[in-house]
Every structure is written in C-alpha cells, then in structure tokens.
Amino acid sequence: MISIVIADDHPLLREGLRRILEFETDMSVIQEVGDGQGAINVARNQAFDVLLMDLNMPGVNGLEACRVIRREWPQIGILVLTVDDSDEKIFEVLQLGVAGYLLKDVEPKTLVESIRKVHAGESILSPIVTGKLLGQLSHSSPARETYGLSERELEIVAYVVKGASNREVGQALFISEKTVKNHLSSIFRKLNVEDRTQAALKAVKLKLVHLD
C-alpha cells in the first residue's frame, strides 16, 4: 500500500485529490495539510511514502518544505503538484532532488501513474517541464567538455533529459534495461548527482547535451 500525504492550501483541491486516490486499491491518503509546516510535522511523526506538494502556500511554502524534507527524510518521494510553470521555479525545485514536477491540469490517470512511478523510485516530469528543459538545450552549443562521460553515457543522458524511461532508452539504443541502469549509476557518480532528475538538470547546466 502506498501511503500518501497531500499538502495544499485549498481544501477543495485536497478533497478532490483524495477522492481520486480513494479509487485506487494500492493507495491510501493518510494525512492532508494546508501548508509546508504541516507536511514537515507529519514527516516528523509518521512514516509515509509519497508527498503531493503544492508550492505556493501561506507560511512555510512548498519550496522550503521540500528542502527540509529532502534533507531529513530523503526516503520520502516528493511529487510537486502546482500551477507554477515558471522556468526559475522549476529549476529551483528540481535542484532539490524532488521525484517529480507536475502541473495541476494533469489528467487523474497520469497523476495516479506518476505516484506509482515515484514510489518505485522513478523521476517524473510533466511534458511542459520537459519542454522547458529542451528549450534550454536548444540554445546550447555542442559540448566540448564531457566531464568524464563516455559517448554511450552522453547518449543516455540525452534520452534522460527528454524524459525517456529505462525501457525506452534500452529499446532506442538496442541495449538491455540492466545495461541502462549500470550506465546511469556511472553517470550519477561522474556528475555527482543522486537521481535522473538531478542528472538531467546538471546535463543542461553543463551543456552536455544539445539538440540538432
């Protein structure tokens, strides 16, 4: 059972999310809070798997709460659910190492699937967020410095930035998912990051990947 906490300052939205998730037999909403401090308090007192976090809340906002929770309870998968699609906020939040960033117009089915993926340790980005990452890449020149990454690893990083799953990367490059995972472990180590989202962000910053 995936235990979920919802943090949002709008009661109607919290209720709507809870009703959506109640239909899923493998999910349980254990708490609802109205601000970031509430989310921190729950984390201090109760173990849970996934946090659905809004960003713009009174008092302790979602960004501040994400920073604290990622530092003190890294095992919690944070899935940001917000209306804020500004480039600055997206990059600021993703740099904290949250598991995913979705906009509130997301389809219920996609939200449910995203929660399962976050619980499984995968990273989730909405198409708009992925598009913004690619927009950054489109203005980048070809990388001269590879930071120790091999040609194959650079290929995989490019697919990671585009939001491809391990299976999709493997199919595109004609290698097994296990091989993809091994390459990703090496990529994380060389870039000094912990997950796919951080790897994608760092690849953009370092201009390791570019669009033709």
Mean pLDDT by 10 residues, the chain (212 residues): 96 95 96 96 96 93 93 94 82 83 90 93 77 59 71 90 89 91 94 90 83 48
| Per-residue confidence (pLDDT) for residue 133, from 0 to 100 | 65
C-alpha R_g of the chain: 17
Chain centroid offset of residue 179 CA? 22
> pTM for this structure?
0.68
Domain boundaries, the chain: 2-125, 132-205
Could you confirm whether domain 132-205 is CATH 3.90.550.10?
A: no
43, 18 contact by CB (below 8 A)? no
For 44, the enclosing helix (H) or strand (E) is helix 36-45
Q: Which residues pair with 33 in a beta bridge?
A: 7
Q: Supply the CATH classification number for the domain 2-125.
A: 3.40.50.2300
| Per-residue confidence (pLDDT) for residue 151, from 0 to 100 | 86
| Per-residue confidence (pLDDT) for residue 168, from 0 to 100 | 92
| Per-residue confidence (pLDDT) for residue 63, from 0 to 100 | 92
